[in-house]
């Protein structure tokens, strides 16, 4: 890079992006303490030298004048936004005192933490879990991958699975949008290359999404009914004798029960046609094509699972891979080992001997609420827990780069709950809407400003490394220093007395087959991929792929997938179903203060079918009012042919409409989450964002 | 062999994610407008709907209209075919942006015109900013001969500028 005039005299620093939790490894070029250029790590298969638009524009985070710079304590009412600057020492003292007091009064489990899976969170997860003794340490999973994880856990005993687009000949996607929500950029090219080689791409989605645009076939479906379509496809494959008998016989558990169950319920294509709006002939044809083209992959993600029936739909969609033997082979659905493919997983950064660890006495809130199979807390239920004190009192929240006031359903209820807390801490890079209601606000470092080690998302085990490129703004600190400060005040200093960051980084990778120096040199480590892991036995109770899930049976759920209608059904008064969807150039609610991205579109919009729009005299670009039984929003309409009639899709539904954050973000567009009542999937605990009926009128 | 260079944009691959626009701004200065524009066109009636996305930048035409229209001769064509703006001569009258069929020249915050320089400040071994980032590999940069080859492989066609049949250095899939 020395031959590039602009980059002369710059230093290259290894890092990984954390604008979204998919962590693409990158190279950051720094000159005069400024980030001047970034690119994807060219040697890494997840990036192939590229970055997505969100990651690329996030260079702004290192410059943004609206970033939090000092620790602050709330002086006004909660939500009023009045804070006073304090020193770190004062902040650590207040937090330590409060945590001690709450532990004595209500027990350690009354302190709950939620984060965004960003780097270094293992520090306070370890601190709270190992030393303080709270079992309530959570990620943002319920708003994201909870349903997908849970389906993988029950079916395959793995936490995650990855689609091998590159080698597939038939790709069937259900509300999984690699092109509309670009995450791991390398996979996009894989998908495009597969298309060039003649792979067929079929997209099931109520909207003509960016992925559907590129599909050979777009199957517009009545929202929330994907499970019916997948089950009818499964029945077709079995009835027409197209399933992989060898795979099912040797590596699966409960096929006969499933076959009988499908017959008993009468899940025929004709039955599914009435529910989904997809012709029975199409269902048969897609089932036949999928079963006879190998290798093939069928996958789904969060979008289509945002219903109370989401988990069973997800299971049914993934089961199509199982029936056709498209599991853990090149070009199919690849299973990853313990969290994200690393076995053994990374260690906590601090070492606490077994006998010095805090005893966890109460069950975690997740278990106490009855979500035994779910990977994480059903966050949408937390406000009710806080307000009612059931199953046990929750008195304090620690929130790290997470903004549930905007990102979870039912905004009003969340605000009420935050007001009812005894103590709350927000660690963030902006003064988020949630931080407005917190007692202490701490300025975090962004991903350009800290050391970190995390696992990458790949079929092969992968570990990523990051070091700071620039110093954090003002007095902002990376999480590890924040947790260290709090821990010292609480008498746990001895676990945090590292001399350099290398010490805790070595702890993290202990036992893994590479050294810290090797990791630093390349910026990542990648192991060899392993296929056909089912041959050695999986981590399900039966050791096989569980079509009939014993885990579900034990947890008191139906061990076989069935179809139920979503709970909320549009009616005469509220004739439309509201769904939320993505735009490729924003990462949920974290990128709205980046001027470059806001220059592309500075407010979000609602898509409505032309026929519906004509009924209400709505023209493209008009402002409309969308009303649910809970609240209303005003948003710009985009009239299109590319959406199922009777559906309104608010694009980037919960990223716009900020009333805090920063100057660029504030007051642009509308947040749909205040329209949505509290519904969660009963198995995975995922927030059911699409369980919402609305009516519209011209503004 | 022509030394003229340009872009091939594969509309079968473009997903309108705007990464090229942003990459352009990050490289050329975040306060300048992007030299690339991404657009989409919708056709058809539900459920048979199609959308086409395309990313457009300066075509570095063989005989550029902008150059012909520029009253102060600020716009010039370098020997290698790259069309550039001499900021010392530009008076910011915007005539070039009116005559350009692709809307390529942009009015900048310095009150002068700016446009794609084909990343002239990048060495040849380095991809252009937009090409480098394009997550689907829709943008390809190279000599016109190379692009002809890529276009043939991907069943692409040369875009002929409409008015006088002057060849533009962009190829696009039919």
Parse chain B into domains and list their residue ranges: 5-172
B30 to A188: CB separation less than 8 angstroms, yes or no? no
**Chain B environment of A3 (Cβ under 8 Å):** 123
d(CA B86, CA A281): 63
Closest alpha carbon to A99 in A86, A108, A90, A87: A108
- Final residue of a structural domain among A496, A520, A554: A554
Q: Looking at the partner chain, which of A4, A584, A641 has a beta carbon nearest the beta carbon of B49?
A: A641
pLDDT at residue A124, rounded to an integer: 85
Mean pLDDT to the nearest integer, A107-127: 89
Residue A120 has pLDDT above 90, yes or no: no
C-beta separation of A450 from A349 below 8 A: no
A182 close contact with B: CB closer than 8 A: yes
Residue A449 has pLDDT above 60, yes or no: yes
> Which of residues 18 through 47 in chain A touch B, CB cutoff 8 A?
37-39
Residue B164 has pLDDT above 80, yes or no: no
**Chain A environment of B126 (Cβ under 8 Å):** 4
Nearest chain B residue to A185 by CA: give it. Answer: B135
pLDDT at residue A556, rounded to an integer: 94
pLDDT at residue A341, rounded to an integer: 59
Mean pLDDT to the nearest integer, A645-665: 94
Mean pLDDT to the nearest integer, A305-323: 96
**Strand extents, DSSP E, A402-515:** 423-428, 440-443, 452-455, 462-466
In order, the DSSP letters of A365-396 are HHHHTT-SS-SS--GGGHHHHHHH--SS---E
Range in A147-151, A439-443, A457-461, A591-595 the model is least confident about: A457-461
Task: Please check whether residues A153 and A276 belong to one and the same domain.
Answer: yes
pLDDT at residue A381, rounded to an integer: 96
Task: Please check whether residues A687 and A608 belong to one and the same domain.
Answer: yes
Residue A202 has pLDDT above 80, yes or no: yes
Its domain, for residue A661, covers: 576-698
B interface mutation test: which of A24, A184, A190, A192 has the most B CBs within 10 A?
A192
d(CA A174, CA A303): 8
**Does A235 fall in a domain?**
yes
Residue B117 tokens read as 């320089």
Angle at A23 between CA A424 and CA A161, to 5 degrees: 100
pLDDT at residue B144, rounded to an integer: 85
Residue A273 tokens read as 């046609």
Closest alpha carbon to A93 in A101, A82, A84: A101
N residues, chain B: 174
Could you tell me what percentage of chain A is helix, strand and coil, using 3-state DSSP and rounding each to the nearest 5? 35, 20, 45
pLDDT in tens, A11-30: 999 999 999 888 999 999 99
C-beta separation of A90 from A71 below 8 A: yes
Mean pLDDT to the nearest integer, A395-401: 96
A587 close contact with B: CB closer than 8 A: no
Closest alpha carbon to A179 in B107, B138, B71: B138
A641 to B44: CB separation less than 8 angstroms, yes or no? yes
The enclosing domain of A636 has a CATH number of 2.40.40.20
Does the bond joining A18 to the residue before it have cis omega, within 30 degrees of 0?
A: no
A interface mutation test: which of B32, B132, B135 has the most A CBs within 10 A?
B135
Task: Please check whether residues A291 and A217 belong to one and the same domain.
Answer: yes
B19 to A52: CB separation less than 8 angstroms, yes or no? yes
d(CA A482, CA A128): 13
d(CA A470, CA A450): 8
Residue position matching structure tokens 């099912």: A248
Is residue A75 packed enough to be buried (19+ CB in 10 Å), middle (13-18) or exposed (0-12)?
A: exposed
CATH architecture of B5-172: 2-Layer Sandwich (3.30)
C-beta separation of A417 from A434 below 8 A: no
A503 close contact with B: CB closer than 8 A: no
Residue A315 has pLDDT above 90, yes or no: yes
Residue B101 has pLDDT above 90, yes or no: no
**Chain B environment of A37 (Cβ under 8 Å):** 26-27
Distances (CA, A) of B24 to B31, B34, B61, B128: 11, 6, 20, 9
Q: Looking at the partner chain, which of A53, A192, A220 has a beta carbon nearest the beta carbon of B19?
A: A53
d(CA A29, CA A9): 10
Residue B170 has pLDDT above 70, yes or no: no
Task: Please check whether residues A267 and A321 belong to one and the same domain.
Answer: yes
d(CA A37, CA A18): 16
Is residue B43 packed enough to be buried (19+ CB in 10 Å), middle (13-18) or exposed (0-12)?
A: exposed
d(CA A329, CA A338): 18
> Looking at the 3D structure of chain A, how many domains does it have?
2
**Does A296 fall in a domain?**
yes
Q: Looking at the partner chain, which of B25, B46, B123 has a beta carbon nearest the beta carbon of A609?
A: B46
Query: B172 phi and psi, to 5 degrees?
Result: -145, 145
> Within 13 A of A239's CA, how many CA atoms are on the CB side?
16
Residue B172 has pLDDT above 80, yes or no: no
d(CA A586, CA A582): 8
> Crossing angle of helices A255-265/A226-239, nearest 10°?
110
Nearest chain B residue to A59 by CA: give it. Answer: B26
**Does A531 fall in a domain?**
no
**Chain A environment of B129 (Cβ under 8 Å):** none
pLDDT at residue B168, rounded to an integer: 64
pLDDT above 70 coverage of chain B, percent = 90
Closest alpha carbon to A276 in A243, A231, A307, A214: A231
Strand order in the sheet with A25-31: A11-16, A25-31, A34-40
Output the CA torsion sign for A539, A544, A546, A551: negative
Nearest chain A residue to B20 by CA: give it. Answer: A53
The enclosing domain of A541 has a CATH number of 3.40.228.10
Q: Looking at the partner chain, which of B16, B45, B122 has a beta carbon nearest the beta carbon of A4?
A: B122
Task: Please check whether residues A652 and A550 belong to one and the same domain.
Answer: no
Residue B63 has pLDDT above 60, yes or no: yes
pLDDT in tens, B119-142: 999 998 999 999 999 999 999 999
Task: Please check whether residues A546 and A656 belong to one and the same domain.
Answer: no
Residue B162 has pLDDT above 60, yes or no: no
pLDDT in tens, A271-288: 999 999 999 999 999 999
C-beta separation of A64 from A596 below 8 A: no
Output the CA torsion sign for B129, B131, B132, B138: positive
> Which of residues 200 through 219 in chain A touch B, CB cutoff 8 A?
208, 210, 213-214, 218
pLDDT at residue B3, rounded to an integer: 75
User: Rounded mean pLDDT of chain B?
Assistant: 88
Task: Please check whether residues A677 and A540 belong to one and the same domain.
Answer: no
Mean pLDDT to the nearest integer, A86-97: 98
Task: Please check whether residues A547 and A613 belong to one and the same domain.
Answer: no
Mean pLDDT to the nearest integer, A515-542: 94
pLDDT at residue A169, rounded to an integer: 98
Task: Please check whether residues A655 and A543 belong to one and the same domain.
Answer: no
> Which residues share a beta bridge with A74?
A83
**Chain A environment of B29 (Cβ under 8 Å):** none
A192 to B17: CB separation less than 8 angstroms, yes or no? no
Task: Please check whether residues A548 and A581 belong to one and the same domain.
Answer: no
3-state secondary structure A496-508: HCCCCHHHHHHHH
Mean pLDDT to the nearest integer, A540-549: 96
Beta-carbon contacts of residue A659 (< 8 Å; ≥ 6 apart): A433, A666, A667
d(CA B8, CA A689): 40
pLDDT in tens, A622-632: 999 999 999 99
Report residue B174's pLDDT band, with 50, 70 and 90 as the boundaries. Answer: very low
Indicate the pTM of the whole model. Answer: 0.95
Task: Please check whether residues A274 and A168 belong to one and the same domain.
Answer: yes
pLDDT in tens, A415-435: 999 999 999 999 999 999 999
> Which of residues 445 through 484 in chain A touch B, CB cutoff 8 A?
none
pLDDT above 70 coverage of chain A, percent = 99
**Does A213 fall in a domain?**
yes
Task: Please check whether residues A541 and A623 belong to one and the same domain.
Answer: no
Mean pLDDT to the nearest integer, A98-104: 97
d(CA A75, CA A503): 39
Strand order in the sheet with A200-204: A217-219, A200-204, A170-174, A296-300
Which residue has better confidence, A258 or B157?
A258
Q: Is the ipTM of this complex over 0.95?
A: no
Q: How many CB pairs under 8 A join A and B?
A: 110
Nearest chain A residue to B127 by CA: give it. Answer: A49
Which residue has better confidence, A605 or B157?
A605
User: Rounded mean pLDDT of chain A?
Assistant: 94
> Which residues share a beta bridge with A453?
A465
> Which residues share a beta bridge with A660?
none
A53 close contact with B: CB closer than 8 A: yes
**Does A474 fall in a domain?**
no
B30 to A596: CB separation less than 8 angstroms, yes or no? yes
Distances (CA, A) of A475 to A33, A89, A202, A472: 16, 12, 50, 7
pLDDT at residue B148, rounded to an integer: 86
pLDDT at residue A653, rounded to an integer: 84
């Amino acid at each position: 890079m020395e031959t590039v005039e602009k980059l002369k005299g710059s230093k290259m620093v290894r890092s990984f992006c954390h604008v979204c939790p998919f962590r693409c490894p990158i190279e950051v070029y720094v000159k005069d303490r400024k980030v001047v250029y970034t690119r994807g790590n060219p040697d890494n298969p997840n990036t192939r030298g590229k970055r997505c638009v969100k990651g690329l524009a996030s260079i702004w985070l290192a410059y943004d004048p609206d970033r939090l710079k000092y620790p602050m304590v709330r002086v006004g009412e909660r939500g009023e936004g009045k804070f006073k600057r304090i020193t770190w020492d004062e902040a650590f003292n207040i937090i330590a005192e409060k945590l001690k007091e709450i532990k004595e009064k209500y027990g350690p489990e009354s302190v709950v933490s939620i984060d965004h899976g960003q780097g270094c969170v293992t520090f306070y997860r370890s601190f709270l879990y190992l030393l303080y003794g709270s079992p309530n340490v959570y990620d943002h999973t319920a708003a994201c991958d909870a349903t997908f994880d849970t389906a993988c856990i029950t079916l395959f005993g793995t936490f995650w699975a990855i689609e091998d687009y590159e080698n597939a000949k038939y790709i069937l996607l259900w509300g999984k949008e690699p092109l509309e929500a670009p995450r791991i950029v390398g996979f996009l090219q894989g998908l495009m290359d597969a298309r060039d080689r003649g792979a067929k791409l079929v997209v099931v989605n109520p909207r003509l999404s960016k992925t559907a645009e590129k599909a050979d076939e777009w199957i517009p479906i009545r929202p929330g009914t994907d499970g019916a379509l997948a089950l009818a496809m499964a029945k077709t494959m079995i009835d027409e004798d197209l399933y992989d008998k060898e795979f099912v016989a040797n590596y699966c558990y409960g096929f006969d029960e499933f076959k009988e169950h499908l017959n008993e319920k009468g899940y025929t294509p004709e039955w599914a046609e009435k529910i989904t709006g997809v012709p029975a002939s199409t269902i048969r044809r897609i089932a036949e094509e999928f079963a006879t083209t190998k290798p093939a992959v069928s996958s789904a993600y969060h979008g289509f699972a945002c219903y109370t029936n989401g988990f069973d739909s997800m299971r049914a969609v993934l089961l199509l891979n199982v029936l056709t033997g498209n599991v853990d082979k090149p070009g199919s659905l690849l299973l990853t080992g313990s969290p994200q493919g690393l076995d053994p997983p990374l260690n906590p950064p601090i070492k606490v001997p077994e006998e010095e660890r805090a005893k966890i006495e109460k069950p975690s809130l997740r278990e106490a609420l009855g979500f035994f199979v779910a990977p994480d807390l059903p966050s949408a239920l937390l406000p009710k827990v806080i307000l009612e004190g059931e199953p046990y009192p929750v008195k304090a929240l620690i929130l790290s780069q997470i903004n549930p006031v905007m990102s979870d359903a039912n905004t009003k209820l969340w605000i009420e709950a935050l007001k009812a807390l005894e103590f709350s801490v927000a660690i963030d890079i902006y003064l988020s809407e949630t931080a407005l209601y917190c007692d202490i606000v701490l300025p975090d470092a962004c991903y350009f400003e800290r050391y970190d080690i995390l696992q990458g998302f790949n079929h092969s085990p992968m570990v990523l490394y990051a070091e700071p490129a620039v110093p954090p703004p003002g007095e902002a600190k990376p999480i590890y220093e924040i947790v260290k400060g709090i821990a010292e005040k609480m008498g746990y200093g001895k676990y945090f007395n590292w001399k350099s960051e290398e010490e805790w980084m070595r702890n993290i990778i202990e036992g893994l087959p590479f050294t810290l120096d090797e990791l630093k040199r390349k910026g990542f480590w990648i192991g060899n991929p392993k296929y056909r892991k089912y041959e050695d036995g999986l981590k399900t109770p039966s050791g096989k792929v569980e079509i009939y899930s014993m885990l579900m049976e034990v947890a008191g759920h139906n061990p076989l997938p069935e179809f139920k209608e979503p709970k909320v059904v549009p009616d005469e008064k509220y004739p439309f179903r509201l769904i939320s969807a993505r735009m490729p150039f924003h990462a949920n609610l974290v990128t709205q203060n980046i001027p470059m991205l806001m220059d592309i579109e500075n407010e979000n919009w609602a898509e409505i079918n032309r026929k519906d729009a004509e009924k209400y005299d709505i023209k493209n670009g008009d402002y409309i009012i969308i009303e649910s039984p809970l609240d209303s929003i005003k948003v710009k309409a985009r009239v299109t042919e590319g959406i199922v009639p009777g559906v309104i899709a608010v694009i980037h539904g919960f990223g716009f409409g900020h009333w805090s954050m920063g100057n660029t973000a504030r007051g642009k567009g509308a947040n749909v989450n205040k329209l949505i009542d509290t519904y969660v999937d009963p198995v995975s605990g995922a927030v059911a964002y699409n369980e919402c009926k609305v009516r519209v009128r011209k503004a | 062999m022509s030394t003229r260079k340009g872009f091939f944009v594969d509309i079968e691959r473009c997903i309108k994610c705007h990464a090229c626009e942003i990459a352009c701004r990050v490289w050329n200065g975040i306060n300048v407008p992007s030299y690339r524009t991404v657009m989409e066109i919708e056709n058809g009636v539900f459920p048979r709907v199609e959308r086409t996305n395309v990313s457009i930048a300066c075509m570095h035409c063989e005989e550029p209209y902008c150059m012909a229209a520029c009253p102060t001769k600020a716009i010039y064509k370098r020997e290698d075919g790259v069309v550039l703006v001499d900021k010392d001569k530009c008076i910011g009258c915007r005539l070039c942006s009116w005559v350009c069929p692709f809307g390529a020249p942009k009015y900048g915050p310095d009150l002068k015109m700016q446009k794609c320089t084909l990343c002239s400040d990048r060495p040849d071994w380095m991809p252009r900013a937009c090409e480098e980032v394009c997550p689907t590999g829709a943008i390809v940069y190279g000599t016109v001969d190379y692009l002809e080859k890529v276009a043939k492989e991907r069943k692409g066609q040369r875009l002929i500028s409409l008015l006088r049949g002057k060849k533009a250095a962009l190829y696009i899939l039919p």
